[in-house]
Structure 1
Amino acid sequence: MLNGAPSVEIERRTQLEQALSRRKGAAIIVAESSGAFFVRAASGALSDYSGLLTLGHGHVSLLAGQPLGLGGSDKRDHELIDGGLASGDCAPLRTSRGVFCGSRYAAAPNGFSLQLFGDKLGVRPIYYWHGPDMVLFATALRILEALPFIPKVRDDVAVVETIAHGFPLADRTRFADVRLLREGELLRFDRDGCSAETYWRWQDISQSCMRGATAANAAYAVFRDAIEVRRGTEDQVVAFLSGGMDSRAIVSVLHESGAAVQTLNFAPDRSQDQVFARGYAEQIGVPFLSFPRDGAPPQGFRVALAEIVRELVDAGNFSAARPAAPWSGDGGSVSLGNVYLDDQV
């Protein structure tokens, strides 16, 4: 709360909890502090860490995703990030290699501070709204959209961008007063208002002098290392496999590393995306499950995909250690993978 209120109204707490999770029976974690209320749905898809730190009176910190930092575990990485934010040190954020986002709230007799943070690429989103009395944030836009006390004013620029590109640009959303945390951004709210800083920028990366095969080999080594860090000791994994270059490369490295890979495909029946994926799976000898879709699902492709994966997990069709967290690329089927390219192109 920005108005100094000691707690959040019961009605608003209930509305937030009801909007949080689509899945019945999801573990709901609730935390409170002076003037603040936090609620988190713990799916356990990535790890069994709760993502909650409460270090002393008035201090609550939340984490979603996996930082893959220097701590060696999600909990220790969370502690390092939290400690860095407390002292103004962003090094734990800069050295983290994963996809994550989170918050840190600290109450004190003379005020409070709320910090929102995300990964360097902004892959794991945080959407936020702040009015004269409160700040609200969530990792899914639908949660803020469902809350009746947040005004829903259409952002026409964001709507045009979505029509043109499939999504709004910069920090815009389809609602004028709901914003998106940017990549490498650290946002702070206190009684003086809102301030932002960027802890990591693409342009700060030094230019490499490597060329040709040397550069390609170095990039491939980084790619393999990124997969090995995320796989850890898992010997059974689930991966999406399309006709695109990215998913094929991921499945290839997982397979070469000795993991037993189960692959999934959701492309339309007899499409290039399906045929190329099945052919590749057969070539390297990994199981291939196909669930053809007929056109665009009304609920959206990502939601439909998540529903199918959930059904497969609930039915026990996967033997992976983390069946609800399949490996995936994004975009290879329309860039380097030769899918959707015709003779004219």
Structure 2
Amino acid sequence: MDATLPDDVQRWLDHLGVERRLAPRTLTLYRDALQRLAASAQADGVALRSAQPHHLRRWMGTLRTAGLAPRSIALVLSAWRGLYRWWGREGLVPANPVDGLKAPKAAKPLPKALPVDQAVALAEHENEDGDARLAARDHAIVELLYGCGLRIGELLALDVAPSATAAGWIDAEDASAHVLGKGRKRRSVPVGAKALQALAAWLAVRGELAAAGEPALFVSRNGERLSQGGLRTRLRQLALQAGLPTHVHPHMLRHSYASHLLQSSGDLRAVQELLGHASIATTQVYTKLDFQHLARAYDAAHPRAKRKTPGG
């Protein structure tokens, strides 16, 4: 137990981890948010369960003074609101003092996607690692991230074979990947021919790296399930080797998958299903990327696109 948190706050975190099965990263962010809440209450000499809206409003102000970005403040408020809501259901507080508090509005940055030629160049690049087994693994990873639009957690949770405990697996005969997405919702996505070829090449050598009994599809040098940090590092190295002019992270390949599908098909509903988005509004963000692509093409090619500046 984290000694800086009261027992009843820690119990809510335990509830989120065990009952709600929140991701470890989310739990870490929530713990940090609740530590901020506990520290503010202690500094003002206020018991957390006795806090009033004006206390929470002042404590939110300290977040802005500390330099937190609007999105970070929104996450902190979400954690605070969830705690008081839980206490309310247990009859420990009469009202939720966080209700009505809103984080400052933040501009929503568009997701970063690679141009088609760069995404293809990365997928076709042969790793210069020197270990052919790791090169085969990395090639399969890139093909699945870009070819299936998988989240990093979904990809790394894949097991080599389906089982009662497997979070996900790939059915090569059916050319489909079965994954456990956000909210523990299962979905299946098609796997293309290039990804299946890369996967077969990796499976042919996986046994030379994987530890005995290791169920993970993708393993590290030490034979255990590959970590997110390990994957991010490898992908960054691959992008540099392939000559890409930008930093590449796993979710960028998911963005590229979505953007390129929409550019080709225009089928927003189908892309929503493939990505596993609960709301189509989330998927619609990629239509803005598509418009930006069209706008750049117009500016570069149309004779009336380039306007003269006044007095020019």
- Greater percentage in helix: 2
Counting strand residues as a fraction of each chain, which structure ranks higher? 1
If the length of structure 2 is used for normalisation, what is the TM-score? 0.27
Larger Cα-atom Rg: 2
